[in-house]
Chains A and B, each alone.
Chain A
Amino acid sequence: MTEGNDLINLTIDGIEIGVEPGTYVIDAAERTGVLIPRYCYHPGIPSRPAQCRVCLVKIEGQPKLQPSCKMTAQEGMVVHTASEEAEDARKAVIELLLVNHPLDCPICDAAGQCMLQDYALETEQLRSRLHEEKLVQGRDRIADDILYFADRCIICTRCVRFMSEVAGDEALIVAQRGHRSVIDTFPGRDLDHPFQGNIVDICPVGALVHEDFLFKARLWDLDQAASICPGCSTGCNVTIDVKENQIVRLKPRHNPEVNSYWMCDHGRKHLVMSNRGERAEVPLIRRDGRLGAADWSDALAWVADHLLEVTGGDAVVSPEAANESLFFLRELLDRLGIGGGSFRVPTGEEVTLAGFPKLALRAERAPNAAGAELFGFARTDDPAPSPAGAGLIVLEDPLSDHEPEWGEDVGFFLYVGGRLSSAARNAHAVLPVTGFAEMQGSFTNFEGRVQRFDQALQPPGLARPAWMILSRLIAELDARRDGETAIETPLEARQAFSAMAVATPELAGLDWDSIGPKGARLAAAGEAVSADVT
């Protein structure tokens, strides 16, 4: 048992636990492995109105049941979360919530992730005892892209409190009273906040639904991947939900160091939209003046042959490229005598989340600008002129706002990327690489936090991660020069990461496992944050 002067010892369902003073019973119970049902309580929202009454527990010595989300742990407290009295009370609460609930689980987008559905099943309330007609209130558009189903709502007021306490914008209120209560915007106000999408995530039932996700997928059909939002340099931890190899939505993943439980609306839409359009699916090499398809071994050999003649030139990279890709590109550029290289970052207005100031939609709208700087690439504003007669390597930058004749006069133009704009079609060779969600890798966010992301989608055709292609290209080039190569050719992102960490002093001490799902700071390399279950 934990002993110590500053810990408070209490017993929950027969398990003794020591917690810090000020810990609430509901959180203490969670640490012992007892998940007390909750609707109105959310760990990311400061207030605890204790109004849903579903977390009632029996505390010995107290005459009435107490809401565990509002009770701080006391020394010697004995809590029973599953006593008959508490279970009866919980069952009654659920029954009352179901009085006007339409029970339209089959067409509700929250079915499968709904706390009301779970607890109704748990308390075995499959049939209502009510004979009256249910109150039907219909649905409402509460914001541009958010629909509100009043009948499903249980008035937990999480959304109202998120807007007022975390977003700092009192746009939502509870209108009407009693069983006619509904969530509505304040009279004369619209809900229009850059972080409003979070009210959908925290809704414990299916009352608030994103319109772009409405009726799109059943939750059990979705594949999920832990990832990083590429919308700005904050690098919010997200879960990418995928259906049939299409990204359908992003959900924030809890990380107290970066984004808490939240993410912005820009990030939610950014990836879903950026994942469209045509892609290069096979390596292309220029023979007789025309780009033609080749297989990987031919293409790499052909490119390596031509790179032998390159000395000096320029490089253009994308701040959406992974650390590993940028590292291997830098290794390749060093061999070709190309120093420098540049990248451009799209910018926008910076918006901070009032209740969690660490989280902001940063002005820098790319996930890995810090990583590009780490590997020696310089920030520019305007498209650089193409280096006439010399070598040019472009990594993942779509070149969409470059002149169509950009790169025509280059000695050897290698395009490593997936999207073929007219400027990219001037390349002598195109090596198709996977986009951000189609590979594993890592990003460095604005404060130097290295965070890894997992693969969510199957890449198109023969596209491979850029770190895999570039490392093999280096090996081919070395073999042509002196017959030996010092570079490893990684098969997995973890191998690419360790090759990068060994060669980069800033990353010393980090490896794929130690940065974990929550990332680690470059400065505090030794103290990687361990994963905690939320």
Chain B
Amino acid sequence: MAGSVKVLKRPGTEGSYVRAASKGLGVTLKHMIRPYKVTQQYPDEKWELAPRLRGTHRMAVHEDGRAKCVGCGLCPTVCPVNCIKLIPAEDENGERYAAIYEIDEFRCIFCGFCQEVCPVEAIHLGVHYENAEYSRERWVYDLERLTELEHPYTALWDPADPTSQ
């Protein structure tokens, strides 16, 4: 039974370390000369984000500052994690609007279905990911907060390659 064990031949002890050590130092020197940086100084330097990154929601507004949402209820219907709460009502002009519109960003999985399904292009995901909060309640964004955000909207498709070829 011992005969089936394969014994690897190890390198001899007579070789010098100098060759291997210089090779390693060579890599170090190469990186010292080349101005190629991996580490990013994050809070001071921000990432350049892809236009299709799906992050924090934003609500589009009309010129007069009203949210574009018509309260149709398609986003809470399509939302796979039920993170959107919508109660529609009738405004003074008899139009349907969202009396209460809340998105729980903590529960959201950022699938982007709400943006895809919105018939009036009101709710968007945004190119934005920095949303730390001191309390969980603050993660539920109401309509006022969603309309005040200013980061760019997520693009639903790559502008350079609209058909995803």
CB contact under 8 A between A107 and B90, given known A215-B96, A218-B77, A220-B77: no
Q: Which of A105, A106, A215, A220 has the most CB of B within 10 A?
A: A215
Q: A106, A139, A220, A221: which contacts B120 (Cβ < 8 A)?
A: A106
**CA A254 – CA B94 in complex, angstroms?**
33
Q: Within 8 Å CB of B89, what residues of A?
A: 215
Q: Tell whether B26 is near chain A: CB-to-CB under 8 Å.
A: no
**CA A220 – CA B72 in complex, angstroms?**
12
Asked if residues B77 and A139 are in contact (CB atoms below 8 Å), the reply is no
Q: Within 8 Å CB of A531, what residues of B?
A: none
Asked if residues B77 and A215 are in contact (CB atoms below 8 Å), the reply is no
Residues 70 to 115 of chain B near chain A (Cβ within 8 Å):
70-74, 77, 88-90, 94-96
Question: Hey, what's the 0/1 contact readout for A110-124 against B, CB within 8 Å counting as 1?
Answer: 000000000000000
**CA A106 – CA B95 in complex, angstroms?**
12
**CA A49 – CA B162 in complex, angstroms?**
50
Q: Within 8 Å CB of A524, what residues of B?
A: none
Residues 215 to 237 of chain A near chain B (Cβ within 8 Å):
215, 218, 220-221
Q: B74, B90, B119, B120: which contacts A215 (Cβ < 8 A)?
A: B90
Q: Tell whether A214 is near chain B: CB-to-CB under 8 Å.
A: yes
Q: Within 8 Å CB of B119, what residues of A?
A: 105-106
**CA A167 – CA B140 in complex, angstroms?**
51
Asked if residues A218 and B73 are in contact (CB atoms below 8 Å), the reply is yes
Asked if residues B90 and A106 are in contact (CB atoms below 8 Å), the reply is no
Contact size class for A? under 10
- Nearest-neighbour CB distance to chain A for B96, whole angstroms, equals 4
Q: Within 8 Å CB of A106, what residues of B?
A: 70, 72, 74, 119-120
Q: Within 8 Å CB of B70, what residues of A?
A: 106-107
Question: How many residues from B make CB contacts under 8 Å with A?
Answer: 14
Residues 458 to 481 of chain A near chain B (Cβ within 8 Å):
none
CB contact under 8 A between A139 and B96, given known A107-B71, A215-B71: no
Q: Within 8 Å CB of B90, what residues of A?
A: 214-215
In the complex, the chain B residue whose C-beta lies closest to that of A217 is B73
Asked if residues B94 and A139 are in contact (CB atoms below 8 Å), the reply is yes
**CA A139 – CA B90 in complex, angstroms?**
14
Residues 95 to 144 of chain A near chain B (Cβ within 8 Å):
105-107, 139
- Nearest-neighbour CB distance to chain B for A10, whole angstroms, equals 43
Q: A139, A215, A220: which contacts B88 (Cβ < 8 A)?
A: A215
**CA A105 – CA B70 in complex, angstroms?**
11
Question: Hey, what's the 0/1 contact readout for B109-135 against A, CB within 8 Å counting as 1?
Answer: 000000000011000000000000000
**CA A139 – CA B73 in complex, angstroms?**
22
Residues 222 to 269 of chain A near chain B (Cβ within 8 Å):
none
CB contact under 8 A between A107 and B96, given known A215-B89, A220-B77: yes
In the complex, the chain B residue whose C-beta lies closest to that of A216 is B88
- Nearest-neighbour CB distance to chain B for A523, whole angstroms, equals 48
Q: Within 8 Å CB of A218, what residues of B?
A: 72-73, 77
- Nearest-neighbour CB distance to chain A for B94, whole angstroms, equals 7
Q: Within 8 Å CB of A105, what residues of B?
A: 119
Q: Within 8 Å CB of A139, what residues of B?
A: 94
**CA A265 – CA B88 in complex, angstroms?**
25
Q: Within 8 Å CB of A220, what residues of B?
A: 77
Q: Within 8 Å CB of B74, what residues of A?
A: 106
Q: Within 8 Å CB of A214, what residues of B?
A: 90
- Nearest-neighbour CB distance to chain B for A167, whole angstroms, equals 27
Q: Within 8 Å CB of A107, what residues of B?
A: 70-72, 95-96
- Nearest-neighbour CB distance to chain A for B34, whole angstroms, equals 55
**CA A215 – CA B95 in complex, angstroms?**
9
Q: Within 8 Å CB of B73, what residues of A?
A: 218, 221
In the complex, the chain A residue whose C-beta lies closest to that of B74 is A106
- Nearest-neighbour CB distance to chain A for B80, whole angstroms, equals 16
Q: Within 8 Å CB of A215, what residues of B?
A: 71, 88-90, 96
Residues 184 to 200 of chain A near chain B (Cβ within 8 Å):
none
In the complex, the chain B residue whose C-beta lies closest to that of A218 is B73
**CA A90 – CA B53 in complex, angstroms?**
45
**CA A194 – CA B75 in complex, angstroms?**
38
Q: Within 8 Å CB of B95, what residues of A?
A: 107
In the complex, the chain A residue whose C-beta lies closest to that of B120 is A106
Question: Hey, what's the 0/1 contact readout for B15-47 against A, CB within 8 Å counting as 1?
Answer: 000000000000000000000000000000000
Residues 435 to 471 of chain A near chain B (Cβ within 8 Å):
none
**CA A107 – CA B73 in complex, angstroms?**
8
Q: Within 8 Å CB of A221, what residues of B?
A: 73, 77
Residues 170 to 191 of chain A near chain B (Cβ within 8 Å):
none
In the complex, the chain A residue whose C-beta lies closest to that of B117 is A106
In the complex, the chain B residue whose C-beta lies closest to that of A139 is B94
- Nearest-neighbour CB distance to chain A for B118, whole angstroms, equals 9
Q: Within 8 Å CB of B71, what residues of A?
A: 107, 215
**CA A105 – CA B95 in complex, angstroms?**
14
**CA A139 – CA B89 in complex, angstroms?**
17
Q: Which of A105, A214, A218, A220 has the most CB of B within 10 A?
A: A218
**CA A220 – CA B71 in complex, angstroms?**
15
**CA A220 – CA B74 in complex, angstroms?**
10
- Nearest-neighbour CB distance to chain A for B75, whole angstroms, equals 11
19 extra A-B contacts, CB within 8 A, seeds A106-B70, A107-B71, A107-B95: A105-B119, A106-B72, A106-B74, A106-B119, A106-B120, A107-B70, A107-B72, A139-B94, A215-B71, A215-B88, A215-B89, A215-B90, A215-B96, A218-B72, A218-B73, A218-B77, A220-B77, A221-B73, A221-B77
Using CB atoms and an 8 Å cutoff, list the residues of chain B in contact with chain A. 70-74, 77, 88-90, 94-96, 119-120
- The 5 A-B pairs at the shortest CB distance, nearest first, are namely A106-B72, A106-B119, A107-B96, A218-B73, A215-B88
Cross-chain pairs A/B with CB under 8 angstroms, 18 sampled = A105-B119, A106-B70, A106-B72, A106-B74, A106-B119, A107-B71, A107-B72, A107-B95, A139-B94, A214-B90, A215-B71, A215-B88, A215-B89, A215-B96, A218-B73, A218-B77, A220-B77, A221-B73
